[in-house]
Amino acid sequence: MHFISDFSCQNLKGVGPKNALKLEKLGIKSAADVLFHLPLRYEDRTCLTSLGQLSATLSGNVVVLGKVIQVRVIKRPTPQLYCLIDDGSGQLFLRFIHYSRAQYQSFVLGQRVFAIGEVRYSSFGLEIIHPEYRLLSSTDLPPLMDTLTPIYPTTDGLSQRFWIQLTEQALALLQQSHRLIDDLIPKSIVADLGLPSLSSSLQLLWSN
């Protein structure tokens, strides 16, 4: 038998020597360890919130889409990039305290922007500071998720995208018939109590 706990996380795509050291500091050495690095919470990125419905009282991140109608750099006291987007129902500032020249040049008037972040009030109005964002063409569909998005506890240099890619690979290994996970509860007890196996429980957890 082959156990997923015997599959080194160094064999997963995207895990080079530097990331392997960072993972080891977290006690993550195998693909099984990756699956047990559980999310802190889940976010709903399955639908858009119109800008006219935004409020700083909303909890957590929101998912929005709008067109750039204004771009400017304001010194307060260091230069910050402000990008104002509009969707016909309302407006929202995307603020970047740290930004590159290429980033500034990418926000042209009329550009569609898909963004995710926490809304707050500022002296200019509603804003999201350093949102996750993607620039879309006129025909691109918003990259909404089909299920809830896990948000992982993380450390320096290991992004949420990294954890998602790592977990997807570990889950694919688990779903292969020749890769097993060592269930700590005896099968007889699992059967008597009608409990799901550890493998099926993990798959259900990541399917949400």
Identify any residues that bridge with 67 across adjacent strands, giving them in sequence order: 86, 112
- Position 102 pLDDT exceeds 90: yes
Q: Is residue 141 part of a domain?
A: no
Q: Which of 136, 166, 189 is the last residue of a domain?
A: 136
| Co-location of 128 and 92 in the same domain | yes
- Position 127 pLDDT exceeds 90: yes
| Co-location of 102 and 162 in the same domain | no
Q: Is residue 67 part of a domain?
A: yes
Question: pLDDT > 70: what percent of the chain?
Answer: 94
The pLDDT, as a whole number, for residue 84 is 98
User: Does 137 or 183 have the greater pLDDT score?
Assistant: 137
Check if the beta carbon of residue 102 is closer than 8 Å to that of residue 96: no
The pLDDT, as a whole number, for residue 207 is 62
> Which of 196, 202, 163 shows the shortest CA–CA distance to 23?
163
Q: Is residue 10 part of a domain?
A: yes
The band of 88, judged by pLDDT with boundaries at 50, 70 and 90, is: very high
User: Does 182 or 5 have the greater pLDDT score?
Assistant: 5
Q: Is residue 195 part of a domain?
A: yes
Range of 25-39, 43-57, 100-114 with top mean pLDDT? 100-114
Give the total number of structural domains in the chain: 2
**Boundaries of domain holding 20:** 2-41+149-207
| Co-location of 59 and 117 in the same domain | yes
Q: Is residue 143 part of a domain?
A: no
Lowest mean pLDDT among 80-84, 135-139, 166-170, 172-176: 172-176
| Co-location of 100 and 56 in the same domain | yes
**Mean per-residue pLDDT, 41-67:** 90
Angle at which helices 198-207 and 160-175 cross, to 10°: 140
Q: Is residue 27 part of a domain?
A: yes
The tokens for 14 are 């995207």
The pLDDT, as a whole number, for residue 57 is 76
Q: Which of 136, 163, 194 is the last residue of a domain?
A: 136
Check if the beta carbon of residue 61 is closer than 8 Å to that of residue 116: yes
| Co-location of 157 and 115 in the same domain | no
> H helices within the chain, ranges in order?
17-25, 31-35, 101-106, 160-175, 187-193, 198-207
Range of 54-63, 106-115, 165-174, 185-194 with top mean pLDDT? 106-115
CA 202 to chain centre: 19
Q: Report the chain's mean pLDDT, rounded to a whole number.
A: 88
Check if the beta carbon of residue 63 is closer than 8 Å to that of residue 79: no
Q: Is residue 142 part of a domain?
A: no
CA 52 to chain centre: 24
User: Does 56 or 52 have the greater pLDDT score?
Assistant: 52
Lowest mean pLDDT among 54-63, 105-114, 127-136: 54-63
